[in-house]
């Protein structure tokens, strides 16, 4: 099974930390964020496709052609046109079911395994948050499946209300590419993966299920790197 990690963005909210390295290569406890992603993948994953762009050479030099006994393939995203645009860069080499991760956030190994185990549906890892901030809001239908994902806008930075958040970790399949790309917002030049997947699931009649977690570590600002290190230390002590 293939996994694809979207790692082309600079991460402008990280300020000067991403001057010479892309955001997914920032370190937590002495390791780049991308390593946490690959190490969390189950054994079913034998190829990892990294979508690179800004300072992609840093990623290539670090991982080479193999990492953690998995083949590493690189795809360049020349136009930063959103998360769906990034995924579409690899559509010609993705076959059957595949895992999608963002290049920055940290996911628990057991959550990734649970998502991959759902072979008959598409799934999105979600987490209930006390404060949503910039996380995408997941809307559920009466049957419990995902009806919509509403992504935040710049002015939503300080959303303090609770909600069900998208972690942007998916398990999908190549039927997705028969559906059109959907803009992140009306009039946006970026194509949003959540909007594209929701639209495709409805068009194709595919069940799009939530998988629930409380272990997602979101990395959006420099302070989150410190918080992530503290959380990982707590987790390791419990283990």
What is the sign of the dihedral through the CA atoms of 231, 150, 99 and 82? Answer: negative
Per the confidence metrics, is the pTM higher than 0.75? yes
Banded pLDDT at 11 (limits 50, 70, 90): low
pLDDT at site 239: 44
Out of 15-29, 65-79, 139-153, which region has the weakest mean confidence (pLDDT)? 15-29
Banded pLDDT at 16 (limits 50, 70, 90): low
In terms of C-beta density within 10 A (0-12 exposed, 13-18 middle, 19 or more buried), how is residue 173 classed?
A: middle
Between these two residues, 187 and 42, which has the higher pLDDT value?
A: 42
Banded pLDDT at 237 (limits 50, 70, 90): low
Banded pLDDT at 75 (limits 50, 70, 90): very high
Q: How many CB atoms lie within 10 A of CB 189?
A: 12
Q: Domain locations in the chain?
A: 2-238
**DSSP H or E stretch at residue 50:** strand 47-52
pLDDT at site 177: 97
pLDDT at site 226: 82
In CATH, the number for domain 2-238 is 3.90.550.10
Nearest Cα residue to 21 out of 50, 49, 53: 53
User: What is the pLDDT of the chain when averaged over all its residues?
Assistant: 90
Nearest Cα residue to 62 out of 7, 2, 113: 7
Query: Which residue carries 């300080």 as its tokens?
Result: 158
Residue 192 pLDDT greater than 50, yes or no: yes
Residue 58 pLDDT greater than 80, yes or no: yes
């Amino acid at each position: 099974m293939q996994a694809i990690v979207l790692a082309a963005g600079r991460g402008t909210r990280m300020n000067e930390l991403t001057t010479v390295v892309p955001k997914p290569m920032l370190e937590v406890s002495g390791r780049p964020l991308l390593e946490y992603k690959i190490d969390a993948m189950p054994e079913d994953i034998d190829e990892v496709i990294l979508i690179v762009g800004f300072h992609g050479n840093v990623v290539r030099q670090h991982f080479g052609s193999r990492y953690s006994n998995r083949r590493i393939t690189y795809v360049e995203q020349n136009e930063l046109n959103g998360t769906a645009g990034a995924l579409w860069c690899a559509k010609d080499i993705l076959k059957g079911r595949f895992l999608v991760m963002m290049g920055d956030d940290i996911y628990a190994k057991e959550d990734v395994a649970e998502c991959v185990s759902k072979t008959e549906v598409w799934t999105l890892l979600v987490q209930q948050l006390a404060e949503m901030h910039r996380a995408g809001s997941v809307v559920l239908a009466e049957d419990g499946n995902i009806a919509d994902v509403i992504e935040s806008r710049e002015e939503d930075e300080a959303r303090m209300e609770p909600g069900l958040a998208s972690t942007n970790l998916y398990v999908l399949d190549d039927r997705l590419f028969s559906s059109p790309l959907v803009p992140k917002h009306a009039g946006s030049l970026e194509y949003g993966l959540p909007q594209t997947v929701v639209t495709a699931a409805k068009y194709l009649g595919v069940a799009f299920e939530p998988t629930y977690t409380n272990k997602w570590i979101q990395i959006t600002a420099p302070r989150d790197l410190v918080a992530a290190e503290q959380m990982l230390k707590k987790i390791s002590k419990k283990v």
